[in-house]
Structure 1
């Protein structure tokens, strides 16, 4: 199945309205169009369990796959991640979540 797209909201000096969050999809996972200047806001909306977000590396190093970067978010917290260099993360940033309690918002800077 195709990954669920997380739309990127471009930040401007004039300001932008806060975009709607994308609900975590632990079945299809996510993709964010990445130009190297993307920041991802991840919120754990759960109140009892820590959740994990994982950023995948699309390429190989010496013919070996690279271990994805996994980060735990404690309950009821938010964290910003990025930017994601395209030479490491690719132009289609692959993001995996372990539960729908993770909410995603992408910003272009």
Structure 2
């Protein structure tokens, strides 16, 4: 499991660096201005799951799932602490239904 460091965008232009999605998942520090950019270069869809840890009026919020179709990408966020921060480490836990040809970058504005 890798911890992804959010990469800032800039006025001079930023080229993000993508990492291979980890088979056992990834983590990222939550922030109102942070999101994930997931690219799926594989032949089938991939489901990205973010573990939700928040609750609303005592009701548990379900995990967030996003399907990334084959050959496409998705930007997921913002990754807010009130909804997604893990109770043990404060990080957002991200898992993937498949990792072949899947890359990810944490971005921040």
**TM-score band w.r.t. shorter chain:** 0.7 to 0.9
2:31/2:78 contact within 8 Å kept:
no
State the match for 2:104 in structure 1.
Answer: 104
Give unpaired runs (5+ residues) of structure 1.
none
* Equivalent position SS for 1:41: strand
1:93 to partner: Cα distance? 1.5
* Equivalent position SS for 2:11: coil
* Equivalent position SS for 1:13: coil
2:55/2:83 contact within 8 Å kept:
no
2-side partners of 1:76 and 1:17: how far apart? Answer: 20
Alignment of 1:46 with 2:42, yes or no, is yes
State the match for 2:7 in structure 1.
Answer: 9
1:25/1:99 contact within 8 Å kept:
no
TM-score, normalization by structure 1: 0.81
Give unpaired runs (5+ residues) of structure 2.
none
2-side partners of 1:37 and 1:5: how far apart? Answer: 17
**Superposition misfits of 4+ residues, deviation over 4 angstroms:** none
1-side partners of 2:82 and 2:40: how far apart? Answer: 28
1:35 to partner: Cα distance? 1.9
TM-score, normalization by structure 2: 0.81
Query: Which structure 2 residues correspond to residues 71-86 of structure 1 after superposition, within 5 A?
Result: 71-86=66-81
Aligned residues: 103
Aligned CA-pair RMSD? 1.8
